Chain A
Amino acid sequence: MATTPEDVLDDAATWLDDHGDCLFRYAIRHTRGGEAAEELVQETLLAALAGHRTFAGRSHVRTWLIGILKHKIADWLRQRKRSDAGASDAAMSEEALDRWVDGQFTRRGIWKSKVGNAPEDPAGETEWRELSAVLADCVEKLPARSGEILLAAERDEKSSAELSKVFELSTTNIGVILHRARMALRRCLELNWFGAERGRR
Chain B
Amino acid sequence: MNLNCRQASELISASMDRPLTRWERTGLAIHLLICSYCRRFRKQLMWLRRVMRRVLQQADRGRPQSLSPAARNRIRRAVGIST
Contacts and interface: CB of A to CB of B under 8 A. Distances in A.
Interface of A: 9, 12-13, 16, 20-21, 24-25, 28-29, 34, 38, 41-42, 45-46, 49, 105, 108-111, 114-119, 121-122, 128, 131-132, 135, 151, 153-155, 157-161, 163, 171, 174-176, 178-179, 182-183, 185-186, 189-190
B55 A34 contact: no
Contacts of A13: 76, 81
**Chain B interface residue number, banded:** 35 or more
A186 B41 contact: yes
A16 B76 contact: yes
A191 to B, nearest CB: 13
A25 B48 contact: no
Contacts of A182: 13, 45, 48
Contacts, number: 146
Contacts of B75: 16, 20, 38, 41-42, 45
Given A109-B4, A118-B44, A179 B10 contact: yes
B67 interface: yes
B7 A109 contact: yes
A154 B56 contact: yes
Interface of B: 4-7, 9-10, 13-14, 16-18, 37-38, 40-41, 43-60, 63-67, 71-72, 74-76, 78-82
A109 B78 contact: no
B56 A155 contact: yes
Contact of A105 (B5, B50, B51): B5
A20 to B, nearest CB: 5
A20 B44 contact: no
Given A12-B81, A29-B60, A186-B41, A110 B5 contact: yes
Contact of A21 (B6, B65, B81): B65
Contacts of B46: 118
